[in-house]
Chains A and B, each alone.
Chain A
Amino acid sequence: MLIGIVFIISVGAFYLIHLLPGDPAAVILGTGDSPQNRARLFKELGLNKPILEQYFVWIKNVLHGNLGTSFISQTSVWSTIKSALPIDVEIIVLSQILAFAVAIPTAMVSARKPDGWLDRLLGATSFTLLSIPSFVVIVLLVLFIAIKLGVPHTGVSSYVSLGQDWVVNLESLALPSFTLALGSFVVYYRVLRSDLIATLQEEYITMARSKGISQRRIMWRHAFRPSSVALLGTAGVNIGGLLAGGFIVQYLLSIPGLGYTLIQSIGLSDYLVVQGIVLVVSVGVILINFAFDLIINIVDPRISRE
């Protein structure tokens, strides 16, 4: 199944170019169109060969870790991706830590007294946040925190790599991570809250209560784990979405992650880089979902038994 989907995505990524009107060679070369480049392109991909053969030449290269060399920057597509990907990973990890750290306790507070004033307040807050797109959040955050308050290292183009200075690195990624965390928090809070409320009605919660253990322990040890299946499924989809949609927060601040690189390459019509990123991100999204399915099976032994 997994291999099948990856295969189909590779076909999709490859033939994307043939679905578009115009000369494929011109699209691939983009602004890097020159006689030397054209000669190299025909040699590498064999554009005059049958289209099926072109695909096999390409996929063989991809499987050897060779995504081609950009006709514009003349650097290997794979090395471009390799230097950008860790930034996406860092932003996603930071945002998810933040989102879970806030969503889990607040969902528990809400589920303890559904329709209590705290639950209503959190519900209204999450509902409002649900309606604010992340690009609006990042624009407003940059406007108020970086520009109006002038907090250092949070503005445009202040990205510093982790190896260079980790404190400044964290500061420069604070706003994008917070933005993604906000969106994730809303989804996680709502999913976990409704599942916790259902779980707390279960007989085994009454049984746990009859052991004389604290409310906190019942929440964390007895109710949380059986309530987290939908949360994990949602998290898998959401994190995949963040990888694919990472350009939103990177673009404004010029943080050179995959998303930003993708947009840059689109602007330059650097087809091979776009194709490589589409492929890597698609496979990444599928792997993330697959990993979360595995985690779900561990968390809830009922699922693998069915």
Chain B
Amino acid sequence: MSDATTLLVVKDLATTFQTPSGPLPAVGGVSFTLKENETLGIVGESGSGKTVLSRTIMGLQPRRNVEVTGSVLLNGFEVVGASEEAKRAIWGLEVAMVFQDPMTSLNPVMRIGKQIDEILRVRLKMDRHAAKARAIELLELVGIPSPAERYGVFPGELSGGMRQRVVIATALAGSPKLLMADEPTTGLDVTIQAQILNLLQSVKDQMSMSVVLVTHDLGVVATRTSRIIVMYAGRIVEMGTTRDVFARHRMPYTRALLEGSPKVSNPSHTRLLAIPGRPPNLLDLPQGCAFAPRCSFATDICRKERPELEPSFEDGHAFACWNPLPVSQGVPA
């Protein structure tokens, strides 16, 4: 793994929305790297900035009232500050996105085949027959039964799980090197969720892509990622290999997340520990650690000064906390 080439370098990336009530720092200075063929998990509660982060990495943030600073180097291409025209060259072919809600991310009045083969026809200049044949292949690849007939249906004629498969097929059409999957299973039934995640895993292996898997559910990333980033209030609070984050996490927020996510190994009726309090208002962030108001370990320094992300002794493991948990406190994955 360590000798694989680096695909993505994110450095000090910050995304600030200009809102009527003032600047809103949705992502507040994030740095990490991603290697080829690696799967990275980004975990956090809703509102932690993970969706904005995944869109900003692609350069897909809204076009107005947004300020992005820092650097995103995607396979040698600097995304931050690039024009829409320049970014179009990498969208679809270098990097593609699987959107969160398949009920809203497919065009309701466009046949699904047309949505899939659009990249093939427009970007790869394939002729109509070749594009159609390839789109049907992709439908088959994502596990849609009788793909040739489904080519001509509208999204409304498909179930949520089937629609998400179509969204994945669309993202795969341009054979991207990096696939951003933003909460790809949120709107789906639990049984379908596992199918979609397994599908993502298998297409990743077949097409040798890197994947960024964004989710609020640590259970989702446990077995499917090699590394994990935990986000809170727009910043990374802990990152490391999946094993380290699960077994040797140091940040109280990570533990709260872990305790909040259901595990198959738990006896049934185990009470889920929801994290007390609410995520902070990004328009009015506390002076110190953003998690301090909800943290049972918080001390005076936590409320006064924000902890920086500091490396732990393990390779690549880092956390931002003044009062880290002792290593032995970790819950084994």
Q: Are A211 and B109 in contact (CB under 8 A)?
A: no
Provide 12 A-B residue pairs closer than 8 Å at the C-beta atoms, listed in order of the A residue.
A204-B107, A207-B105, A207-B107, A208-B118, A209-B91, A221-B118, A222-B107, A226-B107, A300-B109, A301-B108, A301-B109, A305-B157
Any B CB within 8 A of the CB of A40? no
Could you say which of A204, A222, A300 has the most chain B C-beta atoms within 10 Å of its C-beta? A204
Q: Are B104 and A204 in contact (CB under 8 A)?
A: yes
By a CB distance below 8 angstroms, the chain B residues around A305 are: 156-157
Interface string of A186-209 (1 = CB under 8 A from B): 000000000000000011101111
Interface string of B110-129 (1 = CB under 8 A from A): 10000000110011000000
Q: Are A210 and B96 in contact (CB under 8 A)?
A: yes
When chains A and B are docked, how far (Å) is the Cα of A215 from the Cα of B109?
18
Any B CB within 8 A of the CB of A225? yes
Q: Are B104 and A212 in contact (CB under 8 A)?
A: no
Any B CB within 8 A of the CB of A214? yes
- Kindly list the 8 A-B residue pairs having the minimum CB-CB distance in the complex, ordered from nearest: A212-B91, A212-B92, A212-B88, A203-B104, A204-B107, A211-B92, A301-B154, A203-B105
Q: Are B109 and A299 in contact (CB under 8 A)?
A: yes
Any A CB within 8 A of the CB of B97? yes
Q: Are A213 and B123 in contact (CB under 8 A)?
A: yes
Residues in A lying within 8 Å of B, measured CB to CB: 202-204, 206-215, 217, 221-222, 225-226, 299-302, 305
Any A CB within 8 A of the CB of B253? no
When chains A and B are docked, how far (Å) is the Cα of A89 from the Cα of B9?
64
Any A CB within 8 A of the CB of B256? no
Residues in B lying within 8 Å of A, measured CB to CB: 58, 60, 84, 87-93, 96-97, 99-101, 104-110, 118-119, 122-123, 154, 156-157, 167, 170, 174
Which of A202, A213, A302 is B118 in contact with, Cβ under 8 Å? A213
When chains A and B are docked, how far (Å) is the Cα of A300 from the Cα of B156?
11
Given contacts A203-B104, A212-B119, contact A301 B91 (CB under 8 A): no
**16 more CB-based (< 8 A) A-B contacts, given A212-B91, A221-B110, A222-B110:** A202-B104, A206-B60, A207-B97, A207-B99, A207-B106, A208-B118, A210-B58, A211-B92, A211-B122, A212-B90, A212-B93, A212-B119, A213-B88, A225-B110, A302-B108, A305-B156
When chains A and B are docked, how far (Å) is the Cα of A106 from the Cα of B158?
35
By a CB distance below 8 angstroms, the chain B residues around A204 are: 104-108
By a CB distance below 8 angstroms, the chain B residues around A206 are: 60, 99, 105
| Closest Cβ neighbor of A224 among chain B residues | B109
When chains A and B are docked, how far (Å) is the Cα of A265 from the Cα of B145?
66
A24 shortest CB reach to chain B, Å? 53
By a CB distance below 8 angstroms, the chain A residues around B107 are: 204, 207-208, 222, 226
A53 shortest CB reach to chain B, Å? 52
A126 shortest CB reach to chain B, Å? 23
A217 shortest CB reach to chain B, Å? 7
By a CB distance below 8 angstroms, the chain A residues around B174 are: 211-212
By a CB distance below 8 angstroms, the chain B residues around A207 are: 97, 99, 105-107, 167, 170
When chains A and B are docked, how far (Å) is the Cα of A124 from the Cα of B87?
35
